[in-house]
């Protein structure tokens, strides 16, 4: 048995499922295969940043994620405790609980990963994605223009799938990455961790407290996490394998540690499982091999400090799928996909570095000193390198506080509220259906006319004006927030990233915009080349082909 698909996704956890949703929402029907039959019950991520929620908002899934959060007790703080049921020594709001309303139309979501995956999978299926659980990748052969995969179904039958592209989101032990011989850089082990699962009623201990997680001090220095029902959780402690055999964590010792951390009598606790794992922080040296792309934990692993891991993987998927949709529609040259390595590898290195800095004191492993950035800078304020020779971005940091960015190429489009729409309407909402957006100043009619000449049918380029200031009391003009004047323009990619900026008017708007669009599409969109070659004569674009 064999079939052909535009995109095959290997791995159905949050990153793979998000990639399937992002593709299907824009008309590309992927097939996803996942070896496990269902969603993992392990406690994993439960904090999703505003930038991640912006991606889900763009495909209509954010409201359902927030609906899950509203059904749960509020949990947005952390504490250092003598025990969970005992006194708090220190109490602080998680950085993601900060009010981001001036920076984003979205707030952070505090939901367990399993619940978020349910929402993402449901939306992906509704959009048309083909999700196959209990299906295992058993063979892979990449070629220059396609990939052939062999997939085993739950009954043991093997099917051959030919894909134009393959996305590997198969976790930190990625068989795809290992099979391709891709190496990694960074410490694979900074600490050995024993994770002790338990069942206990934590509701009395947590009643009235907005705790999402907790830490204890001596003697265990434990990390405590629990599910949203507050009846199941895990206590994680580090150990030295040179002096402690993992087998020494027998039932008696495990129960002692969990009881001490929770402040509950052993009789109120049921042990469930124990799992040892190595905490590390590394980045794969390559995110791509031909038509095979890696994303999520397959290319970067972070310590849990900072809550960066799942968010970074979802943003890998958001970046890559936007490029794939543009290429599969025929609007961009395939070399557009080359930018995925440059952009996401840079973000992966910064993210892992910042997570390691946060874990250093706890793991007691020295690493090279770097400046400690805020969680907002890492999760919301990163900038993609647009090329070493780009004068518009020379000398700019790759991550900064998000409020310091004002439409610089490589940064996320600034959130500007839109008047006359619903209360949370944002400039980010103007980027739609996988197309680029030319966002212009209120007096920039020349840029709008140039966009219509380049793409008369709006096949790959939308246009929209920035609003004028609401009044003299407006703190920031919309154009100032985006770094342009009333006669300027921004070219925004489908993943909300600024590709190009002109602060004001130029003598030849058609040539300037054509060059910018060509660069953003990596030489694609033959209509752009034709228009530029023909001067001002509008040439309709070639019909787009949506891969399904």
* Domain ranges (residues) in the chain: 2-72+111-185+282-362, 191-279, 405-534
Q: Is residue 224 within 8 Å of 233, Cβ to Cβ?
A: yes
**What's residue 383's pLDDT?**
95
Q: Which residue has the tokens 């952009």?
A: 343
What is the pLDDT at residue 471? 61
Q: How far is CA 27 from CA 120, 153, 236, 495, in A?
A: 16, 26, 43, 15
**What count of other Cβ atoms lies within 10 Å of the Cβ of residue 529?**
14
- Residue 223 β-bridge partners: 215, 236
CATH of domain 191-279: 3.30.9.10
- Residues 6+ positions from 474 with CB-CB distance below 8 Å: none
| C-alpha dist (Å) from residue 209 to 79, 127, 399 | 10, 39, 33
In 25-72, alpha helices (H): 50-58, 62-70
Whether the Cβ atoms of residue 518 and residue 525 lie closer than 8 Å to each other: yes
User: What contacts 398, CB < 8 A, 6 or more positions away?
Assistant: 346, 347, 350, 382, 383, 385
Q: How far apart are CA 73 and CA 27, in angstroms?
A: 37
Domains 2-72+111-185+282-362 and 405-534 share a fold: no
C-alpha angle 460-448-59 in degrees, rounded to nearest 5 = 40
DSSP 170: -
Could you tell me the two tokens for 142?
A: 């990449």
Q: What is the reported pLDDT for 93?
A: 87
Q: What's the whole-model pTM score?
A: 0.91
At residue 300, the pLDDT reads 96
Are the beta carbons of 411 and 498 closer than 8 angstroms?
A: yes
Q: Please name every residue paired with 194 in a beta bridge, in sequence order, or none if there are none.
A: 237, 276
Backbone angles phi, psi at 278, to 5 degrees: -105, 125
Determine contact, residues 291/145, Cβ cutoff 8 Å.
yes
How high is the pLDDT of residue 545? 32
Q: What is the mean pLDDT of each run of 10 residues along the chain (548 residues)?
A: 92 96 97 89 79 97 95 88 93 85 92 92 97 96 96 95 98 95 92 94 91 90 89 93 91 96 96 91 96 97 86 97 96 94 96 88 56 90 80 81 95 90 83 95 95 90 88 71 95 96 94 92 65 50 33
Residue whose pair of structure tokens reads 């060059």 in the numeric block: 515
Structure tokens at 39: 């969603």
How far CA 445 is from CA of 67, 322, 439, 462, in Å, comes to: 41, 28, 11, 14
Helices of type H across 132-186: 175-180
Residue 321 has, within 13 A of its CA and on its CB side, a CA count of 33
Q: Any idea what DSSP says for residue 456?
A: T
**For 74, phi and psi rounded to 5 degrees?**
-60, 135
For residue 352, what pLDDT is reported? 94
3-state secondary structure of 394: coil
User: Environment class of residue 500 by beta-carbon count within 10 Å: exposed (0-12), middle (13-18) or buried (19+)?
Assistant: buried
Strands 461-465 and 436-440: parallel
In angstroms, rounded to a whole number, what is the distance separating the alpha carbons of residues 141 and 148? Answer: 5
Q: Which CATH number fits domain 405-534: 3.30.565.10, 3.40.50.300, 3.40.30.120, 3.40.50.1000?
A: 3.40.30.120
pLDDT of the residue at 52: 96
pLDDT at 169: 97
pLDDT at 475: 54
3-state secondary structure of 192: strand
- Domain 2-72+111-185+282-362, CATH: 3.50.50.60
Q: How far apart are CA 400 and CA 31, in angstroms?
A: 37
CA-to-CA distance for 352 and 364, rounded, in angstroms? 17
Report the alpha-carbon distance of residue 224 to residue 236 in Å, rounded.
7
Give the Cα-Cα-Cα angle 199, 254, 93 (nearest 5 degrees). 60
pLDDT at 405: 96
């Amino acid at each position: 048995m064999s079939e052909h698909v535009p995109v095959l996704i290997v791995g159905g956890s949050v990153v793979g499922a998000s990639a399937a949703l992002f593709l299907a929402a824009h008309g590309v029907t992927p097939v996803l295969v996942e070896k496990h039959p269902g969603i993992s019950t392990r406690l994993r991520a439960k904090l999703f940043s505003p930038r991640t929620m912006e991606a889900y908002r763009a495909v209509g899934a954010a409201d359902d994620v927030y609906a899950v959060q509203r059904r749960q007790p509020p949990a947005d703080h952390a504490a250092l405790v003598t025990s969970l049921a005992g006194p708090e020594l220190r109490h602080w709001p998680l950085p993601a609980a900060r009010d981001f309303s001036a920076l984003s139309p979205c707030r952070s979501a505090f939901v367990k990963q399993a619940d978020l995956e349910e929402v993402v999978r449901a939306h992906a299926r509704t959009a048309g994605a083909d999700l196959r659980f209990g299906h295992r990748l058993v063979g892979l052969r990449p070629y220059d223009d396609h990939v052939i995969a062999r997939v085993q179904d739950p009954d043991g039958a093997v099917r051959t799938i030919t894909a134009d592209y393959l996305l590997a989101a198969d976790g930190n032990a990625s068989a795809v990455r290992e099979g391709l011989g891709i190496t990694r850089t960074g410490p694979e082990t900074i600490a050995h961790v024993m994770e002790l699962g338990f069942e206990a009623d934590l509701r009395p201990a947590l009643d009235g407290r907005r705790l999402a997680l907790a830490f204890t001090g001596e003697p265990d220095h434990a990390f405590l996490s629990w599910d949203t029902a507050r009846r199941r959780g895990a206590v994680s402690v580090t150990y030295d394998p040179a002096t402690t055999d993992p087998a020494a964590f027998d039932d008696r010792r495990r129960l002692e540690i969990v009881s001490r951390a929770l402040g509950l009598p052993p009789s109120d606790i049921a042990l469930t499982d124990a799992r040892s794992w190595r905490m590390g922080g590394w980045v794969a040296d390559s995110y791509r091999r031909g038509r095979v792309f890696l994303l999520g934990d397959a290319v970067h692993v972070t310590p849990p400090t900072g809550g960066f891991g799942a968010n970074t993987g979802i943003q890998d998927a958001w970046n890559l799928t936007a490029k794939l949709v543009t290429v599969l529609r025929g609007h961009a040259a395939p070399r557009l996909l080359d930018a995925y390595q440059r952009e996401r590898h840079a973000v992966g290195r910064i993210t892992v570095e910042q997570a390691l800095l946060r874990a250093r004191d706890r793991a007691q492993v020295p690493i090279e000193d770097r400046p400690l950035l805020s969680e907002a800078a890492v999760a919301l304020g990163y900038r993609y390198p647009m090329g070493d020779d780009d004068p518009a971005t020379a000398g700019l940091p790759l991550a900064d506080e998000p409020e310091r960015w004002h439409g610089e190429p490589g940064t996320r489009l600034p959130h500007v509220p839109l008047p006359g729409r619903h209360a949370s309407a944002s400039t980010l909402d103007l980027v739609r259906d996988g197309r680029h957006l030319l966002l212009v100043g209120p007096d920039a009619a020349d840029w709008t006319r140039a966009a219509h000449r380049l793409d008369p049918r709006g096949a790959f380029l939308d246009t929209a004006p920035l609003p004028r200031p609401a009044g003299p009391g407006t703190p920031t003009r919309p154009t100032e927030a985006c770094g342009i004047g009333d006669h300027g323009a921004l070219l925004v990619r489908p993943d909300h990233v600024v590709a190009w900026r002109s602060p004001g008017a130029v003598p030849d708007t058609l040539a300037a915009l054509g060059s910018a669009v060509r660069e953003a599409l990596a030489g694609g969109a033959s209509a752009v080349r034709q228009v530029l070659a023909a001067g001002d004569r509008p040439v309709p674009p070639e019909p787009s082909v949506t891969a399904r």
